[in-house]
Amino acid sequence: MQIDEIFLSLQGETEFVGIPFLFVRFSGCNLRCSYCDTPAAFTISPTCHIHFHGQESFLSNPLSIEQLTTLLSPYQGYWLSFTGGEPLLQREALETCLTHLKGFRFWMETNGTLPEALSPIIFSHIDVWSMDLKLPSAIGKNLWETQERFFSRIAETGKTIILKVILTPTTTLEEMEEVWKHFLLWREKTRSLSLTFQPMTSEKKVIQSESLRWAYEKTLSWPDGKVHLIPQIHPILQIP
Ligand SMILES: Nc1nc2[nH]cc(C(=O)O)c2c(=O)[nH]1
Ligand code: SF4
Ligand SMILES: [Mg+2]
């Protein structure tokens, strides 16, 4: 498996912020979002950067499942996030991880654009799906139809799904209306759905935008606690 980095930190996004997470960052991505904060994961890296408690080491790619098991087994009981890049581009490697790594709670960080890569093994092991909503202003094309197919398939599993949308100065209010329309429609398909509006951060500061103002008002108007406006906390805390 081609892994860009493996590290332990606090979850810096969504309503799970502040709790310890292992991150396994898969190499390769099928998108090139304007706001991407992990461009290093676009390409396959010759080495995997491992950093735990400020100690770093490197392993040559590809990594074996035995290497991964040795590295992660002291952390059984922790949440483990498969992130990227886009982990579903390496479906077989992901399935190997899911069937061999024992004693973790699995979190899937996905751009939600590869419904054809989903499989029964993935469905049975992932506990929480964190799915980005990719807007045309950030990726240059409309992917709603594909994202709808992706969402419908993961919703059938009944697992927790967190939708995440990144707010940037180029995000339009029409796009925000579209996000909201989909959130309301998709809520009908599953019991455990929440939405995080995530304003972009740069230089440890939250970037102001009209979509951020819009999201603030929308979040205030929604009382059930399933809609959140939360910036990334890891750049602010200056942690990985
Ligand atoms: N602290 C921290 N929290 C995160 N939440 C999602 C991340 C990601 O890149 O997938 C991430 C990350 O890279 N670091
Ligand atoms: S999907 Fe994620 S990793 Fe890929 S380009 Fe977009 S933000 Fe970056
Ligand atoms: Mg990140």
| CA distance linking residue 41 with residue 83, whole number of Å | 10
Q: What is the DSSP string of 137-174?
A: HHHSS--HHHHHHHHHHHHTTT-EEEEEEEE-TT--HH
Q: What is the DSSP string of 182-230?
A: HHHHHHTT-SSEEEEEEE-EETTEEPP-HHHHHHHHHHHT-TTS-EEE-
Residues with CB under 6 A from ligand 2: 29, 31-33, 36, 38, 41, 84-86, 111
pLDDT digits (tens, 9 = 90+) for 94-118: 999 999 999 999 999 999 999 999 9
pLDDT along the chain (240 residues), means of 10: 98 98 98 96 96 97 98 98 98 98 98 98 98 98 98 98 98 98 97 97 94 98 98 96
83 assigned binding-site residue: yes
Assess contact for 145 and 119: CB atoms under 8 A: no
Of the listed ligands, the closest to the CA of 111 is 2
Instruction: Determine if ligand 1 sits within 6 Å of the CB of residue 230.
Output: no
Query: For residue 38, how far is its CA from the centre of ligand 1 (angstroms)?
Result: 10
Of the listed ligands, the closest to the CA of 27 is 2
Query: For residue 20, how far is its CA from the centre of ligand 2 (angstroms)?
Result: 22
ipTM beyond cut 0.85 = yes
29 assigned binding-site residue: yes
- Of 64, 81, 88, residue with least CA distance to 1: 64
**Dihedrals φ, ψ of 166, to 5°?**
-90, 130
- In angstroms, the Cα distances linking 90 to 35, 67, 77, 170, 225 are 23, 17, 25, 31, 34
- Measured from the Cα of 83, ligand 1's closest atom is 10
Residues with CB under 5 A from ligand 3 (ion): 37
Q: What angle do CA 127, 132, 133 make, to 5 degrees?
A: 135
CATH number at residue 120: 3.20.20.70
| CA distance linking residue 196 with residue 183, whole number of Å | 11
pLDDT digits (tens, 9 = 90+) for 73-89: 999 999 999 999 999 99
Owning domain of residue 11: 3-237
Nearest CA to ligand 1 atom 1: 12
Q: Write down the pLDDT at residue 203.
A: 87
Sign of the dihedral defined by the CA atoms of residues 211, 212, 213, 214, in that order: positive
- Residue 161 class from Cβ within 10 Å (0-12 exposed, 13-18 middle, 19+ buried)? buried
| CA distance linking residue 144 with residue 135, whole number of Å | 8
Query: For residue 11, how far is its CA from the centre of ligand 1 (angstroms)?
Result: 6
In the chain, the number of structural domains is 1
- Of 103, 101, 134, residue with least CA distance to 35: 134
- Of 63, 112, 64, residue with least CA distance to 84: 112
